[in-house]
Amino acid sequence: MPRGTQADLKVKDLQGFGYLNQLQPLLQRLHGDAVDKSGNRQLFFDQYLSLLLLYFFNPIFTSLKGLQQATRLSKVQDLIGGGPFSLGALSAAQHAFDPALLEGLFAELVDRLAPRDPPREWAALKGLVAVDGSLLPGLPRMTWALWQDEKHRAAKMHVQFEVLRGIPVGVDVTSGSASETRALRRRLKAGLLYVVDRGYADYQLFQDVVDANSSVIGRIRENAVWQLLKARPLPARATQAGVQRDLETNLGCEASGKVFKQPMRVVEVDTGRLKAVRKPEVLLLATDRMDLGADLVALGYRFRWSVELFFRWIKRIMGLRHLLCHSQRGVTIQVYVAFIASLLISRRIGHKPTKRTYEMICLFFQGLASEQELEEHITRLQQASNRKPK
């Protein structure tokens, strides 16, 4: 649903506030922070977040000015607990409020989404987290968001995406040129299986993951070297997954290999032997997990693509690629609110959201779909999900 030209808003254009009201108890804890740019009328953090959520659930909004106009409507004032607010107050909010306060709220919503039992054959991949970064193009005045050179500006989202639950579980926002490996190091947790692309092929990072009591599946470069310790046998399911070699090694040359405290496996996968692969190539995958079947190592890396699909969902479908704010604080707040909106959809329907579901929710917020029609759509999705083989 593309966001078009901003039109004058009327009360009849907006509904669905009951869905957003469900989040108010969580937002209420942020009510203490306020910004005052409108005389004696203060804009509080929870009110600002409610307006941003309204933006993501209703494509009739295309700008911060449109949100400011909406604060004149009685239903919107009832939702956010105040208003109207000036454009100056909304603009100042991105500098006044601390996005770090949203980390706890985001983590609480993540915890409320019950873990999904994976198919039995994937049980060993429980806790698989795909990690990657994605750019949000910025304006020249975003001097903090340096990318490539002085003429280019972009923010970067560093995202951790839990594959089997289909939800984001961590995010940082930096300038476009910031290090992705450094961002991952700040977020390392125990008990997870991180899957990373070639851009994270840093042997010290791999060891840092292991030292954090987690594991890693990471693509390494084609010219990687190692000392062979043992060639593992390849069962039929491994060859069917495109695995050509499964090796236990001392990974790295004399200099780089010294960072490892344990042997590492190198699994070579020829994607040309798989169906529906557009650009066949040979992958070298490194992992510390000696217990995983080689086919599951290959599958775990293929699941890394799920974070790319999430970037498409959050930027193209939910509209995050259009930035309402231009300070680092403001962009971080907008990113968190977009992720929270996505989690709310996942929590309501019980699985990863789709474009069609998001369209139905937007139609509901615009008054073009009834609550009953939305509920019927969600029920059909849940029934279809339950019919899928486990």
* Separation of alpha carbons 148 and 156, rounded Å: 12
Residue for token pair 């929590």: 347
**Band of residue 244 on the pLDDT scale cut at 50, 70, 90:** very high
| pLDDT mean over 50-74 | 89
User: Which range scores top for mean pLDDT: 117-121, 204-208, 275-279, 341-345?
Assistant: 204-208
Q: Using an 8 Å Cβ cutoff, are 270 and 244 in contact?
A: yes
User: What's the rounded Cα separation, in Å, for the pair 272 and 48?
Assistant: 50
| pLDDT band, residue 8 (cuts 50/70/90) | very low
pLDDT at 112: 82
**Residue 16: pLDDT band by 50, 70, 90 thresholds?**
very low
Task: Give CA–CA dist 195/185, Å, rounded.
Answer: 14
Distance CA 210, CA 303 (A): 20
Per the model's pLDDT, the better-predicted residue between 389 and 27 turns out to be: 27
Residues 6 or more apart in contact with residue 375 via CB below 8 angstroms: none
Q: For residue 177, what are its two tokens?
A: 């040129």
Of 87-91, 97-101, 106-110, 149-153, the range with the lowest mean pLDDT is 149-153
Where do we find the tokens 């060859």?
239
Which pLDDT score is estimated for 358? Answer: 85
Cβ pair 294, 246 in contact under 8 A: yes
pLDDT of residue 5: 43
**Whose structure tokens read 């740019």?**
37
Is residue 125 very low, low, confident or very high in pLDDT (cuts 50, 70, 90)? Answer: very high
Lowest mean pLDDT segment, chosen from 57-66, 143-152, 381-390: 381-390
Residue 24 in this model has a pLDDT that exceeds 70: no
Query: Mean pLDDT of all residues in the chain?
Result: 86
The mean-pLDDT minimum among 52-66, 187-201, 227-241 falls in 52-66
Mean pLDDT check: name the lowest of 32-36, 83-87, 206-210.
Answer: 32-36
Residue ranges covered by each domain of the chain: 1-97, 100-197+304-344, 206-298, 354-390
Predicted TM-score of the model (pTM): 0.87
- Measure CA 132 to chain center: 9
More confident residue, 231 or 39: 231
Tens-place pLDDT, residues 320-346 = 989 999 999 999 999 999 999 898 888
pLDDT band at 184; cut points 50, 70, 90? very high
Q: Say which residue the tokens 């937007």 belong to.
A: 362
155 and 331 Cβ atoms separated by less than 8 Å: yes
Contact of 173 with 338, CB cutoff 8 Å: no
- pLDDT tens for 292-302 read 999 999 999 99
Q: What pLDDT shows up at residue 298?
A: 96
